[in-house]
Chain A
Amino acid sequence: MVNDNGQLYTIEGVAAGMIMLMTAYLVLGATSVYTPGDTHISDMQLEQLGTDALRMMNTPVNGTSKSPLQEIIENGDTTAAGNAFNTRFLDYVNSKADGGTDDLHYMAEVTYRNITDGGTTGSYHLADNNRPLTGGEHPVRVTEWVIADKKIGSNIQQDRAVLVEVLLWRD
């Protein structure tokens, strides 16, 4: 005859052990790990920086003049326009508070609607800072709408809306 004293204590011990195991499992499962999928949180800062830079470029100095970005678009697909964009954009995004410069790279394109080609979209390369995309970067895309008075994809000079797209990355 087995002595069956203490069965309640055994059951309680087993139940408490299981509860402690479950609790430990839940607490460990609650810790968050910074996985590669969460890196877009740091991209948000770069995205905001680029958006702000483009918005500054698309702000006229007074009510009657055109914004620098608008003038750049109206100069069209030219080297002068690309250089003007390059100087101003790098000045805005690479400035640091301590007077030094940051090391951001970019590639800018302009997308427009081609009326003469039945309303399809066309694009041209505006500028970059001599750093071709190799595919290993992790760029963010920032954009700015610009209204420019120019013949773009049509034979008539008039106000047109185009989209300036910039791929911005740090390496």
Chain B
Amino acid sequence: MAGLNDDAQWIVMMGFVVSFSFFFLAMLLNQSTVVGQTTAEGVLEFPKNDIRDVRSVITESSTLSLSDADAQVIKDDIRTIALSRKDAIVDYTITPPTGSDLYTHISIHYNNGVTEYNENWTSP
């Protein structure tokens, strides 16, 4: 670069700075759509209706005041059908009111291989 006039190096450097800032802004724009997509996919994969459904049938069964044997039949129904038709493992334990504790407690477990959901439900 012999004899090169090296005035105006600032202008050249500023050109690079502006170019690179455009480049990084474009990268941010690119990533932002991917973030939205993965979030939406996460929402879609969550089995909201399956969980609400199984919660409601379990709490309903706890209000029927069944004998232990009858409650076990319903529990076996729910577990067998959930495994064969929903590919989900469901288990729950109902603790009826005892002594000073006036509330029914239910511990619900749900796992379909992607989503695991556990809940301790207390009767209102």
Real complex partners, A and B?
Answer: yes
Pair B20/A19 contact, Cβ less than 8 Å = yes
Q: A5 to B6, alpha carbons, bound, how many Å?
A: 11
Interface magnitude class on chain B = 35 or more
Q: A15 to B23, alpha carbons, bound, how many Å?
A: 12
Pair B53/A147 contact, Cβ less than 8 Å = no
Pair A162/B19 contact, Cβ less than 8 Å = no
Give the A-B pair count, Cβ closer than 8 A. 107
A113 CB–B CB distance under 8 Å: yes
Pair A162/B30 contact, Cβ less than 8 Å = no
| 8 Å CB contact of B85 from A26, A27, A111 | A111
Pair B64/A30 contact, Cβ less than 8 Å = no
- A26-B27, A111-B81 known; A142-B49 Cβ under 8 A: yes
Pair A8/B81 contact, Cβ less than 8 Å = no
Chain B's closest residue to A16 (CB) is B19
B114 CB to nearest A CB, Å: 15
B-to-A contact residues, CB < 8 Å: 1-4, 12, 15-16, 19-20, 22-23, 26-27, 29-30, 32-33, 37, 40, 44, 49-50, 53-54, 56-57, 60-61, 64, 66, 70, 73-74, 76-78, 80-81, 84-86
